[in-house]
Amino acid sequence: MRVTANSFPMDLRNQMQDLMTKQAVLQRQAATGQRISKPSDDPRAMRRVLDINTEMKALHQYRGNLTKVKEYTDVAYGSVSALKKISDRASEIATMADDTRGPVYMKAFAQEVNQMIEETVRVANGKHRNVFMFSGTKTTTAPYEVTRTGGKITAANYEGNAKIIQADVAEFSSVPVNFLGEGAQGIIKNTTTGSDFIANLISLRDNLEANDTTSIKNTNLVNLQKDETNFITHFSNIGAIQSRLETSDAITMKRLDALDPLVSQAADVDLAQTLVRLNEIQNSYTAALQTGARLLQTSLLDYVR
């Protein structure tokens, strides 16, 4: 094919344009470490990466929820621990309050139990992050409203409700977020087992004041045992939830670890390979410039006299 005055420079120009374009692409890949950054770079890979990123973000959020719920369960566990300590002491007192003690002792015991009632109500009305912990979903209302006579608590009315809310900690997996003071699985008053801690303490105090050791032995001690069982059940429930949360967290972490390489596979560039190719193309570019320059200069005109 004839090579004319224009065709050779045009070819050279096209080759240089191509090489420069390739260099620019490789340099960008090396600088960002990414094979693709825009949808048109590789539409299928882009879609895959976006979908995986969505999943990863959701998994991170599940972990965030997990942490929050773990926090609530820790606080609930602490409250139940405090209540169990009170119940242990109440049982001790109820055991010791037999006919061998005189009225002075009984009065002293009554006073101690009175303080325990106040403490129990305080724990039950506890707040965490400015919401009441044990009133179900009526989180702006204190669970227990007390009535007093002569300064002493004579009754505690439950003002909360029995609604438990759930939070998602994994896809299709949710855990309860709040606890009930009173309900089928209530902490203070469990309507399934019949235990009612505050009412029980009030009854114990009144019986101590009245020196009614029979009722204390036949009723209060029995009921206190029910309360203790309730608290222990709640310990194990909360423990079970926490264990479930930990397992869920571990699984989520594993899933996150598995997803990141998938994104890397789709979007990242092999730096070593890219640098080698960049080097090759730079060499080609330099060679094209040198040879082109030499050929461009000579023509017949240089040799005709």
Tokens representing residue 106 in the block: 């009984």
Q: Smallest distance from the beta carbon of 165 to other proteins, in angstroms?
A: 5
Q: Which of 19, 76, 87, 136 binds other proteins (CB under 8 A)?
A: 136
- List the one residue out of 185, 186, 167 whose CA is nearest residue 177: 167
CB of 298 vs other proteins, minimal distance in Å: 10
Please select the residue that binds other proteins; options are 42, 112, 119, 209, rule is CB under 8 A. 42
Q: Which is nearer to other proteins, 137 or 225 (CB)?
A: 137
Nearer to other proteins, 32 or 279 (CB): 32
Q: Which stretch binds other proteins (CB under 8 A): 32-40, 90-98, 151-159, 232-240?
A: 32-40
Q: x/- binding map, residues 261-280, to other proteins, per CB under 8 A?
A: --xx--xx------------
Q: How many CA atoms lie within 13 A of 108 on its CB side?
A: 8
Min dist. Cβ of residue 138 to other proteins (A) = 5
Q: How far is the CB of 273 from other proteins (least distance, A)?
A: 17
Kindly state whether residue 4 participates in binding other proteins, applying the rule CB under 8 A: yes
Please report, as residue ranges, which positions from 115 to 134 form the binding site for other proteins (by CB under 8 A): 129, 131
- Eight-class DSSP state of 216: I
Number of residues that bind other proteins (CB under 8 A): 66
> Residue 124 class from Cβ within 10 Å (0-12 exposed, 13-18 middle, 19+ buried)?
buried
Among 89, 107, 122, 163, binds other proteins (CB under 8 A): 163
For residue 174, the cross-strand partners are: 168
Classify 108 in phi/psi space as left (phi over 0), alpha (psi -120 to 50) or beta. Answer: alpha
User: Does the protein bind other proteins through residue 112 (CB under 8 A)?
Assistant: no
- The DSSP result for 270-288, as a single string, is -HHHHHHHHHHHHHHHHHH
If one asks whether residue 145 binds other proteins (CB under 8 A), the answer comes out as no
174 or 211: whose CB is closer to other proteins? 174
Residues 224/91, Cβ–Cβ less than 8 Å: yes
Q: Write out the two tokens for 30.
A: 């090396």
DSSP state at residue 39: G
- Selected from 81, 166, 273, 290, the binder of other proteins by CB under 8 A is 166
Give the angle 156-113-229 at the CA atoms, nearest 5°: 75
Residue identified by tokens 């203790």 is 228
Closest CA to 178 of 170, 186, 169: 186
Residues 49-78, one symbol each (x = binds other proteins by CB under 8 A, - = not), give: xxx-xx-xxx-xxxxxx--xx---------
Candidate ranges 30-38, 73-81, 115-123, 230-238; the one touching other proteins (CB under 8 A): 30-38
Spatial separation of the C-alpha atoms in residues 182 and 160, rounded to whole Å: 8
Distances (CA, A) of 104 to 45, 108, 146, 196, 212: 83, 6, 27, 28, 13
Residues lying near other proteins in the complex (CB under 8 A) are found at 1-7, 10-11, 14, 32-34, 36-44, 46-47, 49-51, 53-54, 56-58, 60-65, 68-69, 129, 131, 135-140, 161, 163, 165-168, 171, 174, 177-178, 263-264, 267-268, 299-301, 304
